């Protein structure tokens, strides 16, 4: 089984990194070329088919996080993000989690929720819908060739009423097993297809027919044990728990804390071509499910004093359909991950979010984030200046001591040693 604990990947050249990732994921030379293509992704022709008024494409850095073991399997995790330190932080969190076996993650099946808003329905509408649920489900499933064949597709109907300033409304919800797709399109198609039948059954008038991005039937739960000594000892473990309590009880801190979690999740979402806005909207709603916006993660310690991290989020992702069919880099990134299902991808993304959160609150409750951030920045500059792996540590140390953290400073120091 490939091993993701690759030490000092940041000190290697681009070619060495690509060789390592290529061997790990068994990438072909074509796939390696796609990663090296400086255009970094889709062609203008494809962009022009995807959005209106296209004038170009836009690329961002792609890196890989190391050290991840998730449910007993090793992963190198492609992450697309503009922010420094995030990939290093995820790798560091995963390295410590690895000591105790890595991340254990479970994901619900991929049930998408479609909503149909019904106005002016009569009192017995809910009963009538329940009586006709087979007919509605069959009509919904007639809109997909592939899902029913895989024993997936529309499975359940639920109804609720809501009170609004315009009066009572009936909301019919269609639960659809969308398999390995994110499922927005098929959910919207099915909702629109069944709405005339729902009008006929209820005597009401349907208005909105749309997927809900609050994907509470796609919950993912990750857990990892962070060994006490590797975390920095008992007092650091206790301070991390206090940092969590701050986030869990103060909305201003909770938003930033959860943003750190989303740094991890959204970077993988970007790399694999997911709808990151849907993911963030659902995660933020879930953070407020108690009525107060709180931390999405939970930090505690076990009887031996090891730190326990848990993260539970709704996560709607896919490995078929969507942008992945047109974006060559997203395709290669999904291959690097080696995920066989949407659920496996959701598990990887949630573990990345938890690792990221660990490293952020670890840094914040010890030395602060700026020191590590500057050290990393200095390391990248030393490497860009042409320092060898033997020279990097010395140059970084000097740049920090002399407070000269720039490319020119790194070049100057390189000349001197
Ligand atoms: C920065 O992008 C993310 C952090 O602010 C997260 C946090 O404060 O927990 C470091």
* Mean pLDDT score across all residues of the chain: 95
Nearest CA to ligand 1 atom 7: 257
Same domain, 131 and 191: yes
In a domain, 2, yes or no: no
Name the catalytic one among 12, 73, 100, 259: 259
Specify the DSSP class assigned to residue 323.
G
Q: Are 384 and 345 found together in one domain?
A: no
Please check whether residues 165 and 225 belong to one and the same domain: no
pLDDT of residue 392: 87
- The residues lining ligand 1, judged by C-beta closer than 6 Å to any ligand atom, are 83, 256-257, 259-260, 263, 360-361, 364, 369
Residues 337 and 303 occupy one common structural domain: yes
8 Å CB contact between 188 and 114: yes
Q: Which domain holds residue 323?
A: 9-105+219-367
DSSP state of 233: S
Q: Within 13 Å and on the Cβ side, how many CA atoms surround 408?
A: 1
373 tagged catalytic: yes
Residue 195 has pLDDT above 80, yes or no: yes
pLDDT at 314: 98
Question: Is pLDDT above 90 for 14?
Answer: yes
**Three-state helix/strand/coil letters over the chain:** CCCCCCCCHHHCCHHHHHHHHHHHHCCCHHHHHHHHCCCCCCCHHHHHHHCCCCCCCCCCCEEEEEEEEECCEEEEEEEECCCCCHHHHHHHHHHHHHHCCCEEEEECCCEEEEEEEEECCCCCHHHHHHHCHHHHHHHHHCCCCHHHHCCCEEEEEEEEEEEECCEEEEEEEEEEECCCECCHHHHHHHHHHHHHHHHHHHCCEEEEEEEECCCCCCEEEEEEEECHHHHCCHHHHHHHHHHHHHHHHCHHHHHHHHHHHHHHHHHHHHHCCCCHHHHHHHHHHHHCCCCCCCCCEEEEECCCCCEEEEEEEECCCCCECHHHHCCHHHHHHHHHHCCCCHHHHHHHHHHHHHHHHHHHHHHHCCCCHHHHHHHHHHHHHHHHCCCCHHHHHHHHHHHHHCCCCCHHHHHHHHHHC
Which of 166, 186, 212 represents a domain boundary (last residue)?
Answer: 212
d(CA 366, CA 238): 11
pLDDT, tens digit, 9 for 90 and up, residues 299-355: 999 999 999 999 999 999 999 998 888 899 999 999 999 999 999 999 999 999 999
- Model pLDDT, residue 224: 98
393 tagged catalytic: no
- Among the atoms of ligand 1, which is closest to the Cα of residue 263? 2
- Note whether 229 and 89 are same-domain residues: yes
What number is the average pLDDT over the span 137-158? 97
State the catalytic residue, choosing from 108, 120, 238, 275: 275
Given this model, what pLDDT does residue 7 score? 87
CATH number at residue 148: 3.30.70.420
8 Å CB contact between 234 and 305: yes
Instruction: Give yes or no: residues 363 and 377 share one domain.
Output: no
* Residue whose CB lies within 8 A of the most ligand 1 atoms, among 81, 88, 257, 366, for a mutation test: 257
285 lies in the same domain as 393: no
Strands 307-314 and 205-212: unpaired
Structural domain tally of the chain?
3
**Which of 20-29, 89-98, 204-213, 374-383 is least confident?**
374-383
């Amino acid at each position: 089984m490939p091993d993701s604990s690759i030490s000092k990947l940041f000190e290697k050249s681009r070619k060495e990194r690509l060789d390592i990732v290529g061997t790990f994921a068994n990438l072909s030379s074509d796939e390696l070329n796609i990663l090296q293509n400086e255009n970094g992704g889709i062609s203008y022709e494809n962009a022009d088919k995807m959005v209106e008024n296209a004038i170009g494409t836009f690329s961002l850095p792609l890196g890989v996080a190391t050290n991840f073991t998730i449910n007993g399997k090793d992963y190198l995790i492609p992450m697309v993000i503009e922010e420094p330190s995030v990939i290093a932080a995820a790798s560091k969190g995963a390295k410590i989690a690895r000591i105790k076996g890595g991340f254990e993650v479970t994901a619900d099946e991929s049930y998408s929720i479609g909503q149909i808003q019904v106005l002016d329905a009569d009192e017995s509408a809910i009963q009538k819908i329940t009586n006709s649920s087979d007919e509605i489900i069959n009509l919904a499933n007639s809109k997909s060739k592939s899902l029913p064949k895989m024993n997936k597709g529309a499975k359940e109907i639920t109804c609720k009423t809501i009170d609004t300033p315009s009066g009572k409304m009936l909301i019919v919800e269609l639960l659809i097993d969308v398999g390995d797709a994110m499922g927005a399109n098929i959910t919207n198609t099915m909702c629109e297809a069944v709405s005339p039948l729902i009008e006929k059954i209820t005597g009401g008038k349907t208005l909105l027919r749309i997927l809900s991005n609050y994907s509470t039937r796609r919950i993912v739960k990750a857990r990892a044990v962070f060994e006490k000594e590797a975390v920095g000892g008992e007092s650091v473990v206790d301070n991390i728990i206090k940092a969590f309590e701050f986030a869990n009880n103060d909305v201003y801190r909770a938003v930033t804390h959860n943003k750190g979690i989303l740094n991890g999740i959204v970077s993988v979402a970007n790399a694999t071509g997911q709808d990151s806005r849907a993911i963030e909207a659902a995660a933020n709603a879930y953070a407020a499910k108690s009525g107060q916006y709180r931390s999405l993660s939970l930090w505690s310690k076990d009887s031996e004093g090891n730190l326990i991290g848990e993260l539970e989020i709704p996560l709607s992702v896919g490995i078929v359909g969507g942008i992945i069919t047109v974006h060559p880099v997203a395709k290669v990134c999904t291959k690097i991950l080696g995920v066989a299902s949407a659920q496996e991808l959701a598990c990887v993304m949630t573990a990345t979010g938890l690792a990221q959160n660990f490293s952020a609150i670890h840094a914040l409750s010890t030395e602060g984030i700026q020191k590590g951030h500057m050290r990393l920045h200095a390391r990248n500059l030393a490497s860009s200046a042409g320092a060898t792996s033997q020279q990097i540590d010395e140059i970084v140390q000097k740049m920090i001591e002399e407070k000269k953290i720039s490319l020119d400073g790194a070049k100057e120091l390189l000349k001197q040693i």
